Chains A and B, each alone.
Chain A
């Protein structure tokens, strides 16, 4: 009996000892709680030893990135950190993180991945994308155009109000606003990593390796999801707001109504070119502007199916580097054809063409007044202090686009209340200022009106 009791006590103590002495418990004791974010992967197949080292280290250092990646198609296809981020030593973007420097000193990486890398596996997509207004044209205003730079640095950047040229505050508006949609030219520090103001940037980003564009704007990293890019919200990061309320117009349209009420039941991840009506009940931005539907194949040239250039002052039929407008209209009709009758399609485009022509009339008349005032020396040098010139800007850049885009994508509230209803009033104000200046042969002392063309 006594031995039996002793035996039981000894066993109990032994179990307790084992329990409290295991390394897992020692770790728990140190932290006080388990670190749930830390995931240890034991992947044995499909990746090289080097690639596994990246995955292993980053699952601890940046678990969010690895968590997104592991649910991606890239991961399923065996594409890992290594395939996209490793560059040659001579690459202008070659650098090394602490782990790479320690574990694999002959390897160089870059946090930036340009379309030059993506096109190694997706050549057609990058080629189409490069021809679109989403690539070089998107970055042009911020990177190349003097007029835009004066607006970003001198006006918005506060130089006019006393901030000295070159002061870091003068680039704040560019970095937080303009560049996040339009893209910027990545500048490098001495260690080949991007400067703290030039990266990340939007869809027209220009990389030091010569790549132009940013695929991860729509295919957010590190899932690169096709379903995500097909949803209208993927476009809405930039196509939003008073100057081109495209997502708002879409939500207001019948297409958007159907999406908002039943989109959650649609099939979003069908294979590329095989995402057809039936997978969805109404189109999203991607369906009409990009997807393979009916006779049409997928395109990453978002401007390919457009007739009009509806973003600049005068609306003209697309040509040259902006595409082939007449062909674009035919292509877009082919999209509509999948769900609409001929008469429905033709009537829609008759509506759009009429709206564009009405807008163009207002625009042309406004430019005549502007030209006349300029010839008579009745324009202020600083256009942002001159109500006539400010109104002229809002006429095409805000109000005029809302009217045109509202008509193009069937958002009546934007075509009318945010569009033409304001357009005629902005125009009337411009007429009054014009007539006053001609009559008095001088510029009125103060800005009597500064409507930002409410929205």
Chain B
């Protein structure tokens, strides 16, 4: 036997505290990289930050809550999918930053380029739990009926296209002119 009983105990205790320390570090990194300021620290994200800042979820007026980048742009289903997506996009975005990848956001927005919009329904639904809640205007009730009944494949942002970043296309175009 290479280890005696005492040695195993010490190893278990060390692994336990090591794991605890690692989880604190991970949590702290997740937390610190989840802030709006962190996302906006890359210049590629500047236009998204600025447009978000004046959109409903950025301004957060009249009872609207402030939804930060990661609230919408990461899946909110469970911890595993959340962390996997976060790791994936983290690496992806840093890679794109360093290779100076050019993205034609307007072409994507206008459907001229294949594009999966990476804002997640689960993010919207975390807060917008009941779309036909009592007291909502009748037009909103009617508009959400087909969605609630599962009669359409449309997602929240198919109709609420401008909710996150307002007139993003206009903002990008004006920056290009400057």
Question: Which A residues contact B (CB, under 8 angstroms)?
Answer: 46, 76-79, 83, 88-90, 119-124, 127, 210
**Which of A76, A78, A90, A120 counts the most B-chain CB atoms under 10 A from its CB?**
A90
Complex Cα gap A90–B169 (Å): 6
Question: Which B residues contact A (CB, under 8 angstroms)?
Answer: 110-111, 137-139, 142-143, 146-147, 151-152, 154, 158-159, 162, 166-170, 173
Contact in complex: A124, B146 (CB < 8 Å): yes
Contact among A76, A77, A88, A127 with B162 in the assembled complex (CB-CB below 8 Å): A88
Instruction: Pull 24 A–B residue pairs with CB atoms less than 8 Å apart, ordered by A.
Output: A77-B138, A77-B139, A78-B137, A78-B138, A78-B139, A83-B139, A88-B167, A88-B169, A89-B170, A90-B167, A90-B170, A90-B173, A119-B154, A120-B158, A120-B159, A121-B139, A121-B142, A122-B146, A123-B146, A123-B147, A123-B151, A123-B152, A123-B154, A124-B146
**Minimum distance in angstroms from B106 CB to a CB of chain A:** 9
Complex Cα gap A78–B143 (Å): 12
Contact among A79, A90, A119 with B139 in the assembled complex (CB-CB below 8 Å): A79
Q: Count A-B pairs with CB separation below 8 Å.
A: 44
Contact in complex: B170, A77 (CB < 8 Å): no
Task: Give the residues in chain B near A78, CB-CB below 8 Å.
Answer: 137-139
Task: Give the residues in chain A near B158, CB-CB below 8 Å.
Answer: 120, 123
Task: Give the residues in chain B near A79, CB-CB below 8 Å.
Answer: 139
* Complex A-B, nearest 6 residue pairs according to Cβ-Cβ distance, in ascending order: A90-B170, A90-B169, A123-B152, A121-B143, A120-B159, A88-B167
Complex Cα gap A46–B136 (Å): 11
Task: Give the residues in chain B near A210, CB-CB below 8 Å.
Answer: 110-111
Complex Cα gap A129–B82 (Å): 38
Contact among A46, A76, A89, A127 with B152 in the assembled complex (CB-CB below 8 Å): A127
Complex Cα gap A83–B140 (Å): 11
Considering only CB atoms, which chain A residue lies closest to B145 in the complex? A121
Complex Cα gap A111–B51 (Å): 27
Complex Cα gap A83–B137 (Å): 13
Task: Give the residues in chain A near B138, CB-CB below 8 Å.
Answer: 76-78
Contact in complex: B170, A88 (CB < 8 Å): yes
**Minimum distance in angstroms from A297 CB to a CB of chain B:** 10
**Minimum distance in angstroms from B76 CB to a CB of chain A:** 24
**Minimum distance in angstroms from B114 CB to a CB of chain A:** 15
Task: Give the residues in chain B near A123, CB-CB below 8 Å.
Answer: 146-147, 151-152, 154, 158-159
